[in-house]
Structure 1
Amino acid sequence: MDGRARGAREGRGKTLRARVCLRLLERRLLRDLAGDAKSPRRGGVCALRGWLGRLVPRDGGQGDEAARADRGRVGRGGSLARQAEGAREDAEANALAPPGDRSPPRRTRDDGRAGREGARFLERPLTFSFYETRRAGVCCGMRTCSLLAIPLSMGLFAVLAAACGGGGGAGTSGEIPPDATIPVLDPTCGVEVIVSQTPTYAEDVAPILMKNCANCHVEGGIAPFPLLTFEQASPLAGLIADRTTAREMPPFNPNNCGHCNKFQDARWLTTKEIATISAWAEGGAPPGDLAKAPPPPEPPKGLTDTNLTIDTGVTYTPDGSKIDDYRCFVVDPGIPTDKFLTAYEVLPGDPRVVHHVIAFALDTAEAEAQAEALDAAEPGPGYTCYGGSGVSASRFVVGWAPGGGPTRYPAGTGLRLPGGRKMVVQVHYNLAGGAFPDQTRIATVVADSVDKEASIQRVAANGINLPPGQPMTAVTNEETIPAQIPEVTVWGVAPHMHGAGKTMYVENELDGQKQCLVEVSNWDFHWQSFSMYETPPKVKGGSTTRITCGYDTTGRDTVTTQGEGTEDEMCIAFFYITL
């Protein structure tokens, strides 16, 4: 390859990475600015957006920028299903239009909040501080530092510590602590990727979709549309590119870049896979040789050694007046003596509506009575619940989200299920596609004994008291692991916040040496699950732990406090550990 060709290729690669960064910056701007179409300052963000656009042409300098700037956009409150429908309408219009009048695939950006219809709407003054950072995992795919836009009201953030400890003490809440780390979304994981040629669906994109998306995006699945063929995927190329670029899809809350651990079976695209999808969409979503496209994957293989089924025992039809219905069921597992849970597989009654499942053990008679009282207080099967079981003394033992197969806890370990006690099974029903009857079951493997009894330990910041109208506010807490504990192996983690949650950072420190346990930069309450580490970290007695959770309270006009309600918040990391 001669120098000119190499330079052109590298230029296209840098342009692609810069466009990704600009899109992320634009998203962050829009998320931080409340919508007000009448604001006299709305031109400020347009001017800033235009200035950013002049730094790197939005078409990479290889096409008609005016045409590309005229892409259809979908309102920020729109659902995936509506966005997909809009993209299909574009595709149908293109099929009837002369080649010169066809528009590129629709690109969408949706942060899930109604009333944020684009950059021209602005409520607050544009007061931004641009700063440089060299922290690994923040540099947006560049080998040198990136510019990140942060409102001055948020301050500048330095690295902190947080980790695995006891039950969670009262933390500082509201103002962002000066030593708090607020993770910044970096979809590139600090890796530079150059896509030199336009990818095709068959050879390049289909393998990514089949591996990472097809378990949910299938007919009859929880996803709002299937993605198993070129005909299904190509009209949605722009939507797929935007959602994967923002790491909103595939859904996975913990950062899996590697600078803060890596996780087994992570629903996580590599930087190259994201760049490939983006380049495919930018290039017009060409099909390639469809005969070479891989077939849809086989469903995950189930457990073959189950010996106990936890069954809700009832058929429940979710409340169709809601988009999301959270229902808790009191279940008797039928074990007269203590057993140890070593593996489980969630079996949704109707995959079209079952979005996630969490099971809780009840260790005391008081906890069992509390759950039964909640059940008896509501008509119909089960009772309404949101952030958890609604029972103060319940213990997390199972976590599942769509796309996840069976879970087997580390060999020789297991969680105790108390004999003669009932459990609570929480099912989150997503009703975007309709309300259908469901009876979900959990097939499990239980043992009479294990080599090492595991426990779920929580690190939490309590005393949450978040001021309203803040694009970023935080709560933090630190604790010390008792010095008499020699060493703890941390096998897995399940972060937990509610709807206002945005970020979480948990780190352990001993004698000035810090290790990150989990980092979340793009929290989505609806996609909670338990994630097991590829290499389990170890923490020692006497070490200090800290958890910091960041929240966005824009759109709220009252103080957000701690609790299990829809408008309440939490800051918890659940860890699967053994001594």
Structure 2
Amino acid sequence: MFDRAHRISSLALLAMTSALSACSGGGETGAGSSSNVTNPPYSGPTYHKDIVPILQKSCQSCHRPGDIAPFGLMSYEEAKAAAPLMTIETKARTMPPWGAFETGECKPKNPWKEDLRLSDDEIATIEAWHQAGAPEGDPKDAPAPIETFANDLEGKDLELAPSDPFVTSGDSDQFQCFVLDPKLLETKYMNGVFFVPGNPKVVHHILLFSDPGKESLKNAPVGGNYTCFGGSGVPGTKLLAGWAPGGVPMELPANIGTPLEAGSLLVMQIHYHPGGTTADPDATAVQMRFSDAPPEYYLTTALIGNDQTPKPGGDGLLPGPNDGAGPEFRIPAGAKGHTETMVFTLPGMLNGGPTPKIWIYNVGAHMHLVGVDQKISITHTDGAEECLLQEPQWDFSWQRGYAYDAPIESLPVFAPGDKLVNRCTYDNSKDNPALVDALLEQGYTDPVDVGMGESTLEEMCLSALGVLTKAP
């Protein structure tokens, strides 16, 4: 939950904690207080009664021994030491890691599944507990501890891992793609998927792609790996699933499945975060479950956006700030609040036949390090706008997909003539800390003009829609 903790030095954290301990009376009468004055019993939040339930719900899946978070939150002593930082990060809503927020211009009609966000009351409880000196309270008030965390996919049919562990550098972010062969002799329908990090200290996020054309073999053999950034790095792949720390198995309803063609390979992209240990090996595995019979609905992923030019009918890249003679995808060096907007109109014919009814099951945004805000919406044929997702504090390191917590009949519908609108906002200045780090890694001291592409100092503006259609 608090992967950003390295931004505050341990010395500063120790000083803050010590000062708070010295200043807080913990509800006791001070040494100089009058003996006939009795403080009322403490009635505010305590660790066992009020803080543990919050930590169990939104924090402990990452902040536990051996996982990616830099410190634990499994005991009172750990939580008390982190109380100042917990207050700062939760009030800023940078932790727990979650990008989908309601804003003045985006209010999706459905809630999200597995929503990690803390409520206003929970954030206020953490702050009040910290300000009171982080009292422990009575252990009898605590809920039962979580004995196990998600580490397996129920009913899995397949588990694949690279031939050899990948050894990380320990001192920089790395993006590596692994080629896997599920050896499918016929079309299968994926109904569940889960990722088992081999080394949770360094595995930051995972994306899984199908590769029906086996294009990945041009970069590495089955079981091998190659360097990639932003995606699979090869054409023709289809996004299947993603994972971030704290993730649970993706369990689809029994009547939904994702088709995987016979002979398809898989490409598993892993973002390795520097764990501080040189030559730290990882052998992450992916588990998959397939439906026993063809499902009622197909779930597939449509990647829409990344337009560099206008298209007929008002689609493609729209005119924007800092354009030259015509619309162009270019983010000038030093530009702040720069926007690029792209439109896709759903046609009436698709794949040689009438476009079927499409429901949007989940949605994800994708930019690189210059990106700071992405809004994905649909303008329906009647002119009404429906916002699907906005990530107003985009963080490349915590990208994920967001599934609506609603029955199929209540999901957003994408109908012929509707327009999907991607609006991406960028900060190509030194006020963008993610960009500053990337510039230094690439040997630059100042921002440079940024165009579209796959590399670190190029950008994207892409939406990933998980779409449901009736099986033929």
- Bin the TM-score by the shorter chain: 0.7 to 0.9
Of 431, 449, 459, the residue aligned with 1:559 is: 449
3-state SS of 1:388 partner: coil
Cα deviation digits, residues 48-83 of structure 1 (max 9, x gap): xxxxxxxxxxxxxxxxxxxxxxxxxxxxxx952362
Cα deviation digits, residues 284-306 of structure 1 (max 9, x gap): 32222244233442312632211
Give 2:117's aligned residue: 268
Give 2:388's aligned residue: 517
**In structure 1, what residue type is equivalent to 2:183?**
G
Conserved 8 A contact 1:498-1:570: yes
Q: Residue 256 of structure 1: CA displacement?
A: 6.0
Of 550, 559, 563, the residue aligned with 2:425 is: 550
**In structure 1, what residue type is equivalent to 2:208?**
A
Q: How does 1:77-476 map to 2 (within 5 A)?
A: 80-81=5-6, 83=8, 85-86=10-11, 88-90=13-15, 93-94=18-19, 198-255=44-101, 259-260=107-108, 261-297=110-146, 298-300=148-150, 302-322=152-172, 324-364=173-213, 368-369=214-215, 371-375=216-220, 381-435=224-278, 436-447=280-291, 449-463=294-308, 464-476=329-341
Give 1:537's aligned residue: 412
Separation in 2, partners of 1:487, 1:271: 38
For residues 92 and 267 of structure 1, do their structure 2 counterparts lie closer, same or farther at Cα, with a shift above 3 Å needed?
closer
3-state SS of 1:454 partner: strand
Conserved 8 A contact 1:506-1:546: yes
Of 356, 367, 371, the residue aligned with 1:497 is: 367
**In structure 2, what residue type is equivalent to 1:416?**
P
**In structure 2, what residue type is equivalent to 1:502?**
V
Give 2:461's aligned residue: 571
Conserved 8 A contact 1:217-1:225: yes
Q: Residue 450 of structure 1: CA displacement?
A: 2.0
Q: Residue 94 of structure 1: CA displacement?
A: 4.4
More helix by share: 1
Separation in 2, partners of 1:262, 1:86: 40
Separation in 1, partners of 2:21, 2:365: 48
Cα deviation digits, residues 374-399 of structure 1 (max 9, x gap): 237xxx95111111111122110120
Conserved 8 A contact 1:306-1:445: yes
Separation in 2, partners of 1:243, 1:95: 18
Separation in 2, partners of 1:307, 1:352: 27
Separation in 1, partners of 2:464, 2:131: 40
Separation in 2, partners of 1:439, 1:291: 40
Runs of 4 or more consecutive aligned structure 1 residues displaced over 6 Å after TM superposition: none
Conserved 8 A contact 2:163-2:224: no
Cα deviation digits, residues 476-510 of structure 1 (max 9, x gap): 11122124535311111121111121111111122
TM-score (norm 1): 0.65
**In structure 2, what residue type is equivalent to 1:311?**
A
**In structure 2, what residue type is equivalent to 1:477?**
M
Give 1:479's aligned residue: 344
The percent identity for this pair of structures is: 32
Cα deviation digits, residues 216-255 of structure 1 (max 9, x gap): 0001111000011221011221211111111111101222
Give 1:174's aligned residue: none
For residues 204 and 337 of structure 1, do their structure 2 counterparts lie closer, same or farther at Cα, with a shift above 3 Å needed?
same
Separation in 2, partners of 1:95, 1:280: 12
For residues 197 and 572 of structure 1, do their structure 2 counterparts lie closer, same or farther at Cα, with a shift above 3 Å needed?
farther
Conserved 8 A contact 1:241-1:277: yes
Q: How does 1:17-36 map to 2 (within 5 A)?
A: none
Cα deviation digits, residues 336-394 of structure 1 (max 9, x gap): 22212111111111111111111111122xxx24x223237xxx951111111111221
**In structure 2, what residue type is equivalent to 1:86?**
L
Number of residue pairs matched by the alignment: 399
Q: Which stretches in structure 2 are left out of the alignment for 5+ residues?
A: 26-41, 309-328, 349-353, 431-445
Separation in 1, partners of 2:12, 2:140: 25
Q: Residue 331 of structure 1: CA displacement?
A: 1.2
For residues 268 and 256 of structure 1, do their structure 2 counterparts lie closer, same or farther at Cα, with a shift above 3 Å needed?
farther
For residues 450 and 543 of structure 1, do their structure 2 counterparts lie closer, same or farther at Cα, with a shift above 3 Å needed?
same
Conserved 8 A contact 1:338-1:418: yes
Conserved 8 A contact 1:386-1:566: yes
Conserved 8 A contact 1:328-1:424: yes
**In structure 2, what residue type is equivalent to 1:474?**
T
**In structure 2, what residue type is equivalent to 1:495?**
A
**In structure 1, what residue type is equivalent to 2:304?**
V
Conserved 8 A contact 2:190-2:259: yes
Q: Residue 266 of structure 1: CA displacement?
A: 1.6
**In structure 2, what residue type is equivalent to 1:215?**
S
For residues 333 and 256 of structure 1, do their structure 2 counterparts lie closer, same or farther at Cα, with a shift above 3 Å needed?
farther
3-state SS of 2:220 partner: helix
For residues 79 and 495 of structure 1, do their structure 2 counterparts lie closer, same or farther at Cα, with a shift above 3 Å needed?
closer
Separation in 1, partners of 2:397, 2:124: 26
Conserved 8 A contact 1:313-1:331: no
**In structure 2, what residue type is equivalent to 1:533?**
Y
Q: Residue 557 of structure 1: CA displacement?
A: 2.2
Separation in 2, partners of 1:478, 1:505: 12
